[in-house]
């Protein structure tokens, strides 16, 4: 198993994180593990700490991104580098308790491809952050064809089949949670209490939060552009009907022309959307399970294989 830890300027907390991670992973008997730190362009002592951990343990690997690419990109870098048959994504600031990892692993062993950690409580996060997160995820789910589970973040375990799928896809407009729910593989959740950050301050600035929110909507929903086209169509049609009824198009001309222009933007948006879907490079389907028959006469039993195929 690989535990991927994206880190951006986490020098104040990383020592404690490493100690708790190692303790929790050692406690999970029978699991061979590696911890893969991804330094997302830190400008503090994060990388020297990671080097120190790697020098002291053969279980530690690390990658340092050339600059700050953002949390989702750092997670993807970790997923592409991970070698484990399951991968856990966990924040570096101890808001996600490492002690939950053995629980995630035992659900995975029951056969779940994705085991999310679901927050039952969020301590130490401001009312504004909680309220905007609450509203945003409900808005996103009402728009998206593949809703993401509420009250879950990126703290989750992914089976190798999911990791391979995510690693192969286009890495732009990245919103891992959305892609995971799009894949539609068996997903379950383990509840936990989200602690406050152990030290330091949030590395998710308002700009990064807005960027993530934008990616969530753009990568998972065509509704904004469809709504634009529909509004244009309705406006142009209504202006035509009213004009015909009054036998006078003078007063409705502006509504008609605005409607046609809006519709044209919506149509253009459909083409842009098709290009985006192409760039996302998602496979047309994901195989969840297969029943295969052995070709040798001596072993006529069907074998059931779970996994993802392109």
Residues near Mg ion, by CB under 5 A: 91, 93, 95
Per the listing, tokens 């929790």 go with: 24
Please tell me the distance from the alpha carbon of residue 211 to that of residue 221, in angstroms, as a whole number: 15
Nearest residue (CB) to ligand UDP, 69 versus 112: 69
Nearest residue (CB) to ligand UDP, 204 versus 307: 204
Site string for ligand UDP, 16-45 (x = CB under 6 A): ------------------------x-----
**Region binding ligand UDP by CB under 6 A among candidate stretches 89-97, 105-113, 114-122, 272-280:** 89-97
Nearest residue (CB) to Mg ion, 40 versus 91: 91
Residue 74 lies near ligand UDP (rule: CB under 6 A): yes
Nearest distance in Å: CB 121, ligand UDP: 15
Per the listing, tokens 């409580």 go with: 121
Distances in Å between the Cα of 305 and the Cα atoms of 108, 289, 302 are: 15, 6, 10
Residue 8 lies near ligand UDP (rule: CB under 6 A): yes
Distances in Å between the Cα of 46 and the Cα atoms of 36, 61, 91 are: 14, 14, 14
Residue 91 lies near ligand UDP (rule: CB under 6 A): yes
Q: Which of 62, 87, 89, 92 binds ligand UDP (CB under 6 A)?
A: 92
User: How far is C-alpha 82 from the chain's CA centre?
Assistant: 17
Q: Which of 4, 10, 36, 156 binds ligand UDP (CB under 6 A)?
A: 10
Residue 174 lies near ligand UDP (rule: CB under 6 A): no
> 4 - beta bridge partners?
36, 89
- With CB under 6 A as the rule, give the number of residues binding ligand UDP: 17
Q: Which does 94 bind (CB under 5 to 8 A by kind): Mg ion, ligand UDP, none?
A: none
**Region binding ligand UDP by CB under 6 A among candidate stretches 47-55, 174-182, 197-205, 227-235:** 197-205
Angle between helices 127-143 and 206-220 (to 10 degrees): 10
Q: Which does 117 bind (CB under 5 to 8 A by kind): Mg ion, ligand UDP, none?
A: none
């Amino acid at each position: 198993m690989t535990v991927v830890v994206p880190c951006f300027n986490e020098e104040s907390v990383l020592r404690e994180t490493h100690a708790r991670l190692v303790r929790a992973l050692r406690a999970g008997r029978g699991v061979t593990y590696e911890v893969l730190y991804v330094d997302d362009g830190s400008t503090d002592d994060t990388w020297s700490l990671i080097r120190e951990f790697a020098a002291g343990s053969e279980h530690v690997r690390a990658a340092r991104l050339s600059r700050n690419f953002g949390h989702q990109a750092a997670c993807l870098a970790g997923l592409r580098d991970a070698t484990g048959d399951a991968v856990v994504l966990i924040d570096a600031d101890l808001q996600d308790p490492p002690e939950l990892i053995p629980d995630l692993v035992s659900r995975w062993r029951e056969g779940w491809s994705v085991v999310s950690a679901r927050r039952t409580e969020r301590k130490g996060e401001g009312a504004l952050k909680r309220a905007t997160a609450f509203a945003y995820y409900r808005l996103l789910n009402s728009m998206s064809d593949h809703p993401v589970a509420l009250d879950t973040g990126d703290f989750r375990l992914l089976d190798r089949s999911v990791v391979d799928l995510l690693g192969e896809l286009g890495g732009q407009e990245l919103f891992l949670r959305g892609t995971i729910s799009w894949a539609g593989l068996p997903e379950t959740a383990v509840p936990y209490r989200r602690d406050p950050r152990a030290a330091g301050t949030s590395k998710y600035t308002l700009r990064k939060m807005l960027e993530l929110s934008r990616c969530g909507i753009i990568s998972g929903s065509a509704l904004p552009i469809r709504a634009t086209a529909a509004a244009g169509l309705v406006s142009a049609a209504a202006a035509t009907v009213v004009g015909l009824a009054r036998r006078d198009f003078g007063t409705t001309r502006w509504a008609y022309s605005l409607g046609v222009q809006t519709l044209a933007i919506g149509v253009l948006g459909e083409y842009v959307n098709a290009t985006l879907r192409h760039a996302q490079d998602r496979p047309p389907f994901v195989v969840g399970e297969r029943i295969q028959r052995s070709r040798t006469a001596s072993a006529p039993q069907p074998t059931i294989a779970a996994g993802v195929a392109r």
